[in-house]
Amino acid sequence: APHAVHGEEDSFSWFYSNPATHNPLTYNCLDHSSEDPGFEESVQFIHNHLQENGPYDGILAFSQGACFASMLLSMSDLASQPSFVILFCGFKSSITKHEQFYTSEVDVPSLHVYGSGDNVIPLEMSEKLTTYFKNPVTLKHEGGHFVPTSAEVRNKCKEFLKSHLPS
C-alpha cells in the first residue's frame, strides 16, 4: 500500500475513510463515509505496477488489501485478470462511493479465509464479501485478525492453488 499511516511505523493504507481535510487521515472498516482519500492514487499505483511488472497468476491479500483487491477485480479496465485470488480477513467496503464495485459478481476463483474471533473486521463483513464472488471457497477459523498457519488452512490453500495455478 502506498500511503503511510500516521503515527504507526511501517504501516500503510490503500485509502482512508475520513475526509481529506481531517488530520491525521485514518481508516476504519466500520466508517460509512462518502470520501476515500488516496483511493484513486492507489488504483493508479496498481495499474502502473501491472503494466510494468505484470501479469501475475494470482492475488493474495490481507484485511484492507483484501477489500481493495476485491474492488480492483470488479474494474473492467484492470490490466489483466488473475487466475485466482486468496483473501485473508477481507470485507466489503462501507464507503458509499465504493458501492459501484459491488454491483456484479466477480468471476475469478476465490478463497476467503477469515476468523470468527476477528475483533478488527466483524465476521458479517467478511461473510458479506464472499457473496460478490462466483462460487467462492470459504474457510472460517476460530482465530482473529491474522493469517492462520494451521495445517487445515495450509492444506486448503495448497489444494486451492493446485486447482487454479496455470499448468
Sequence-ordered strand ranges (E) for the chain: 3-4, 12-13, 58-62, 84-88, 110-115, 137-141
Give the residue carrying C-alpha cell 485478525.
145
* Catalytic residue (choose from 47, 83, 94, 145): 145
CA dihedral (83, 38, 30, 7) positive or negative:
positive
Q: Is 70 a catalytic residue?
A: no
Q: Is 145 a catalytic residue?
A: yes
β-pair type (84-88, 110-115): parallel
* Catalytic residue (choose from 3, 112, 118, 164): 118
Separation of CA 44 from chain center: 16
* Catalytic residue (choose from 17, 63, 70, 110): 63
Q: Is 36 a catalytic residue?
A: no
Just list the catalytic residues.
63, 118, 145
